[in-house]
Amino acid sequence: MVDGDTSREQLLETFRSIDTQTLITMALIFLIAYVLGRVITSLLLKLSEKLSHTGRIKVEVIIPIIKFVIYLIAFYFIFREIFKIFGPEIFLLAGLLGAAIGFGLKDLFSDIVGGLVITFEKPYQIGDKISIGNYFGEVTDIGLRATKLITPDANVVTAPNSLIFKETVASANYGVSEMMVVIDLYIAGESHVETAMKILWEAVVSSKYVYISRERPVVLLHKALPFYTRLRAKAYVNDLRDQFKFESDVHTRAWVEFQKNGIRAPQLHILNIPSIEEKYESEATTRRNLGSNLGPNAGDLKDSR
């Protein structure tokens, strides 16, 4: 049995014995896995865009699984090369790697583990619209280290996979193409609510983007508030990408009919904000009153400043 110093010396000697060809082989394995993953992902995404909504979701679901299988096979061949090189010293190397993960690579390791959890547990999938942390958008890619989202403003957000352990994830469609859209309209409190509800109903059910079935009904609600009335429509779109088109379509047609029927938006209540001169006079009056309340000691306080 060798002591710790001897083992470290043997490990260093093994590192020095690694030839360039071995390093190139390991780098090539990783490079091939990366390129293969990117090519397959690109081809499947292009294929999915040509399919129906349901078919697109099914194809996009398998993309992260294929990528992780490719990377797992690549890591198998890389670790096989490492084991050939280090042999019995592999356990000491594993200890050093564990220390490296603990001190410097723990975030990267956490992201990779998060990617595995996302791939096989599926809290969300490619094509879902999710909220995670401060971000909301459609998932376009689940990689080894990060998840990419495209926001409604077309910004691409790269969120580390480890967020899955720290933040709550909300998926608006959870693997299906249909998604509920909530539309709020605010009208003046004295408006005729029944007429407004009827107009909103017709605007929702006649939209070309709405999807209605027994499991996906349209629901209308209204709530009277002190200064206005809120009308809320809950309905589904067949393709989650139609969310904003659906909202815009319903808003436009509903408000056209509202105006025809004398239903108006709540009036803005403007507060009586004093002018600058009035504000100055008010502050001066306050200072004078404060000075008089201080009584004879006011001068002493002034001098002490």
- Classify residue 40 as exposed, middle or buried by CB count within 10 Å of its CB (0-12, 13-18, 19+): middle
Q: What pLDDT, on a 0 to 100 scale, did the predictor assign at position 5?
A: 63
Mean pLDDT (the chain, rounded): 80
User: Which domains does the chain possess?
Assistant: 14-113 (1.10.287), 122-171 (2.30.30.60), 179-261 (3.30.70.100)
- What is the Cα–Cα distance from 205 to 196, expressed in whole angstroms? 14
Per cent of the chain over pLDDT 70 is 74
- What is the Cα–Cα distance from 301 to 305, expressed in whole angstroms? 7
| 17 — pLDDT class (breaks 50, 70, 90) | low
pLDDT higher than threshold 70 for residue 112: yes
Q: What is the 3-state secondary structure (H, E, C) of 42-58?
A: HHHHHHHHCCCHHHHHH
Model confidence pLDDT, tens digit, residues 42-75? 888 888 878 777 777 778 778 888 888 888 898 8
Model confidence pLDDT, tens digit, residues 193-232? 999 999 999 999 999 999 999 989 999 999 998 889 999 9
- Classify residue 137 as exposed, middle or buried by CB count within 10 Å of its CB (0-12, 13-18, 19+): buried
pLDDT higher at 59 or 291: 59
Model confidence pLDDT, tens digit, residues 237-250? 988 889 999 999 99
Q: Quick check: helix, strand or coil at residue 96?
A: helix
pLDDT higher than threshold 90 for residue 1: no
Tokens found for residue 96: 């050093």
Q: What pLDDT, on a 0 to 100 scale, did the predictor assign at position 77?
A: 86
φ/ψ (deg, to 5) at 132? -140, 125
- What is the Cα–Cα distance from 15 to 101, expressed in whole angstroms? 19
Residue by residue, DSSP assigns 150-175 as E-TT--EEEEETTHHHHS-EEESSTT
pLDDT higher at 130 or 106: 130
Please, which contacts does 33-37 make with residues 24 or more away whose CB atoms are closer than 8 Å? 33/70, 33/71, 33/73, 33/74, 36/70, 37/66, 37/67, 37/70, 37/71
Most confident range (mean pLDDT) of 58-72, 132-146, 234-248, 290-304 is 234-248
Q: What pLDDT, on a 0 to 100 scale, did the predictor assign at position 281?
A: 53
pLDDT higher than threshold 70 for residue 103: no
- pTM of the entire structure? 0.63
Element (H, E) at 294: helix 276-294
DSSP code of residue 182: E
